Amino acid sequence: MPEVPEKLLLVENLEVRYGATQVLWGISFSVVKHAVTCIIGSNGAGKTTTLNAIAGVLPVKGGSIRLDGKPITALPSRERVKRHIALVPEGRQLWAGMSVEDNLLMGCYLPALRSRAHLNLSRVYDLFPRLKERRRQLAGTLSGGEQQMCAIGRGLMSEPQLLMLDEPSLGLAPILVEEIFGLIRDIARQGMTILLVGQNIHYTLQVSTYGYVMEVGKIALGGPSEMLLNHEHVRRAYLGIA
């Protein structure tokens, strides 16, 4: 019998509201260990809300979230960070007036990580040599692609078992989009478990193993990324292929 992939994250019947407005309607999905899982969909479908709920930034109104078999639904965000969940947010959200290196070091602010900060810094610089070249430069003076590298590097500094990337190619020139997705592939090859949200459907499905299509706060489709890439609805609605 084929080996069943082990699930790191299991989300079941998740509901989230902003005040009286419900945004997520009982969504369920899973993230397999050591693989890239993606959530694709139009702007406003609820993708970012989903990541924020997993990170504990937003409270949930129903459903459950389990990490490595253990419930985390009721845990505050700081406790989820301790369980090595890292969110690289949409728009990067760097400290513009701080150096690149200081931004990276903010990723290992937890006491348990501080003794390994310089080891992790060395690993990030190996992955992103450009950041090492610019380590003394103010983060706000970096190019868009370099800022995204810095944001991803900051996430890796926390030694995540689950790395969540929200729209990593947003606002980047096409050549930089290709570079960023290439780096995501490199990180995945090292065995990192990644949950990737993106509106760049083609690249997102190419870099991932499993995927889910979210529409109006619900999961509309799910399965292997190759299957979704060739699915008639995905091709028509998101890739513009009749």
- Report pLDDT digits (tens) over 166-218: 999 988 888 899 999 999 999 999 999 999 998 889 999 999 999 999 999 99
Question: What CATH number corresponds to the domain at position 64?
Answer: 3.40.50.300
Same domain, 164 and 70: yes
Q: What is the mean pLDDT of residues 91-111?
A: 91
CB atoms within 10 A of CB 216: 13
Amino acid 5: pLDDT: 77
The amino acid at residue 142 is L
Same domain, 34 and 105: no
Amino acid 242: pLDDT: 56
pLDDT at 92 over 90: no
pTM over 0.85: yes
Confidence at 239, pLDDT banded by 50, 70, 90: confident
Same domain, 51 and 126: no
Same domain, 178 and 238: yes
CB atoms within 10 A of CB 14: 25
Instruction: Please give the share of the chain, as a percent, with pLDDT higher than 70.
Output: 98
Token couple for 116: 């390994």
Amino acid 54: pLDDT: 98
Amino acid 204: pLDDT: 95
Same domain, 146 and 173: no
Contacts 24+ apart (CB under 8 A), 30-34: 31/7, 31/162, 31/193, 31/195, 31/210, 32/5, 32/6, 32/7, 32/8, 32/193, 32/209, 32/210, 33/5, 33/6, 33/7, 33/8, 33/193, 34/191, 34/192, 34/193
Q: Which of 125, 158, 191 is the last residue of a domain?
A: 158
Same domain, 200 and 113: no
Same domain, 3 and 113: no
Alpha helix stretches (DSSP H) within the chain: 47-55, 77-82, 100-105, 111-114, 117-127, 129-133, 144-156, 174-189, 201-207, 225-229, 232-237
The domain containing residue 128 runs over which residues? 93-158
Q: What is the mean pLDDT of residues 12-32?
A: 95
Same domain, 164 and 78: yes
Same domain, 151 and 165: no
Same domain, 68 and 165: yes
CA 88/CA 153 separation, integer angstroms: 9
Same domain, 167 and 207: yes
Same domain, 50 and 148: no
Q: Which of 126, 158, 190 is the last residue of a domain?
A: 158
User: Rounded to 5 degrees, what angle do the CA atoms 41, 42, 45 make?
Assistant: 80
Amino acid 75: pLDDT: 96
Amino acid 206: pLDDT: 95
Total number of domains constituting the chain: 2
Q: Which of 133, 158, 183 is the last residue of a domain?
A: 158
Confidence at 2, pLDDT banded by 50, 70, 90: low
Spatial contact of 239 and 201, defined as CB atoms under 8 Å apart: yes
pLDDT at 136 over 80: yes
**Angle of helix 144-156 versus helix 174-189 axis, rounded to 10:** 20
Amino acid 198: pLDDT: 87
Average pLDDT over the chain, rounded to an integer: 93
- The position carrying tokens 């380590």 is 135
Token couple for 126: 């190996």
The string of pLDDT tens digits covering residues 38-81 is 999 998 899 999 999 999 999 999 999 999 999 999 999 999 99
Instruction: Give the closest residue to 199 by CA, choosing from 102, 90, 93, 109.
Output: 90
